[in-house]
Amino acid sequence: MRQVILKAILYIIIISLFIIMLIPRDFFSFVKLFPAKVPEAGELHEEFTIAVESADEGLAEIAEEARRSIHDFIRVLQRPGPGEGEFCVKYGFDAERQSGFGKEYLWLSDISFKDGFYFGKIMNIPRYISYFRQGDTVSFIIDDIADWMYQDNGKIVGGMSIKYLIERIAEEDRGEELTRLYGKFR
C-alpha cells in the first residue's frame, strides 16, 4: 500500500513539474499576490512533495554529479542556444525543526545572477518551511544544489533526480504520462 501511495505522489509531482515547465514564465506572476497556504506539520499535502530516505545513496550520487557538472548548466544558462530554456535547480532549504526533516528540497525556476548572488523562484509549495511560499524569489548557493535541468528542443537535460525516481517505479506501473515524460530525458 505504501508503495502505491508513493507512486501516486511521485506521479503528481512529475506531471505537475512537467506542466509547469510548459507554461510561459509570466503565467505565475500572480502567485506572490495570493501566497499558498503552508500546511501544518503532519498535514498531508499532495502537490509537489515526495518523501525519500535521507540516506538514499542514488539521490546523494545524483546531487554530487549535479554539483560537479554545475558549470555546464551555468554555461548554457548564460548563453542559451535555440530551443534551450526552462532552467531549474533543486535546492535544499532547512526544514522547520518540528517537522523531523533536516532539509526540504524545492525546485527553483527563473534562475538569475545579480550582484554576486544566484536567485530563483520557488516552484513547489513548501510543506516543511513556513518562511517561504511558492512563487517567492530566493537566493541560493549554486555549489550546494541537489540537481539541475533545462529543456533543449523539448528534451530534458539534467533532472536526474526525477529520472531516478521514475526508474524506481516498475515500467508497467508508470502509466502513459510518466512513460512519456521518461522518454523526454536525453
pLDDT score, position 107: 94
- Rounded alpha-carbon distances, angstroms, from residue 65 to 139, 143, 152, 154, 162: 22, 11, 20, 23, 14
139 DSSP β-pair partners = 119
Angstrom distance (rounded) from CA 40 to CA 61: 31
Task: Quote the pLDDT of residue 9.
Answer: 57
Q: What is the pLDDT of residues 16-34, one digit of tens each?
A: 544 444 444 433 333 332 3
Q: For 40-94, what is each residue's pLDDT tens digit? A: 333 333 443 455 556 679 999 999 999 999 999 999 999 999 999 999 999 999 9
Q: What is the pLDDT of residues 71-82, one digit of tens each?
A: 999 999 999 999
Q: For position 28, what pLDDT does the model report?
A: 36
Asked whether the beta carbons of 174 and 181 are under 8 A apart, the reply is: no
The end-to-end CA distance of the chain, in Å, is 32
Boundaries of every domain in the chain: 2-182
pLDDT of residue 12: 54
Q: Identify which has the larger pLDDT, 126 or 55.
A: 126
